[in-house]
Chain A
Amino acid sequence: MPLPPLPDAAINLHAGAGDWRGAVRLAGDALTEGGFTTEAYADRMIEVIEEFGAYVVIAPGLALAHARPGPDVLRSGIAVVTLAEPVVFGHPHNDPVNVLIGLAVTGTEEHVTTVAELANVFNNADSIPALAAAPTAERVREILGARAAE
Chain B
Amino acid sequence: MMHIVAICGAGVGTSGILKVNAERALARLGREATVTASDAASVQTAAADAQIILTSPELVHAIGKTYAEIIVVNNYFDLDELAEKLEEALS
Interface positions of A (Cβ within 8 A of B): 48-49, 51-56, 58-60, 64, 66-69, 90-94, 103, 105, 108, 111-112, 115-116, 118-119, 122-123, 125
Contacts and interface: CB of A to CB of B under 8 A. Distances in A.
Contacts of B12: 66, 68-69, 103, 105, 108, 111
Given A59-B75, A67-B10, 19 more contacts: A52-B62, A55-B9, A55-B55, A55-B56, A55-B57, A56-B14, A58-B17, A58-B75, A58-B76, A66-B13, A69-B12, A91-B57, A92-B57, A103-B13, A105-B13, A111-B13, A119-B77, A123-B79, A125-B78
Number of chain B interface residues as a range: 20 to 34
B86 interface: no
Interface of B: 8-14, 16-18, 20-21, 24, 40, 55-59, 62, 74-79
A48 B17 contact: no
A52 B59 contact: yes
A34 to B, nearest CB: 17
A64 B17 contact: yes
A83 B49 CA distance: 42
